Amino acid sequence: MKVFKLWLDPKKCKGCLRCELACSFHKSGHKFFNPELSSTTVSRSNENKKIIMKIDDTCDFCENEDAPLCVKYCVFGARGAIK
């Protein structure tokens, strides 16, 4: 599935970090989980406690997967893909 853009909705995010694990699974060639490998991060602001979601430029939109794994495994609907 060719993806051109990802969207993020911090208001729906629960901070479970499954997306970071899923991304690291993709980045490791389906070998292991390590959030340090993730192209996407989720954190909470110390100032206003709001969720901060980011995707850096190492994201390859999960080429060769049937869907972007960070989207697929976010069960709260806080991410999506635009084809």
Which residues of this protein are in contact with ligand SF4, per CB under 6 A? 6, 13-19, 22-23, 26, 39-40, 42, 55, 59-62, 68-70, 74, 76, 78-79
How are beta strands 40-44 and 5-8 bridged, if at all?
unpaired
Kindly tell me which of 7 and 15 has the beta carbon lying closer to ligand SF4: 15
Kindly tell me which of 69 and 83 has the beta carbon lying closer to ligand SF4: 69
Kindly tell me which of 18 and 34 has the beta carbon lying closer to ligand SF4: 18
- How much helix, strand and coil, in percent to the nearest 5, is found in the chain? 20, 20, 60
Task: Tell me how far apart the alpha carbons of residues 40 and 11 are, in angstroms, rounded to a whole number.
Answer: 16
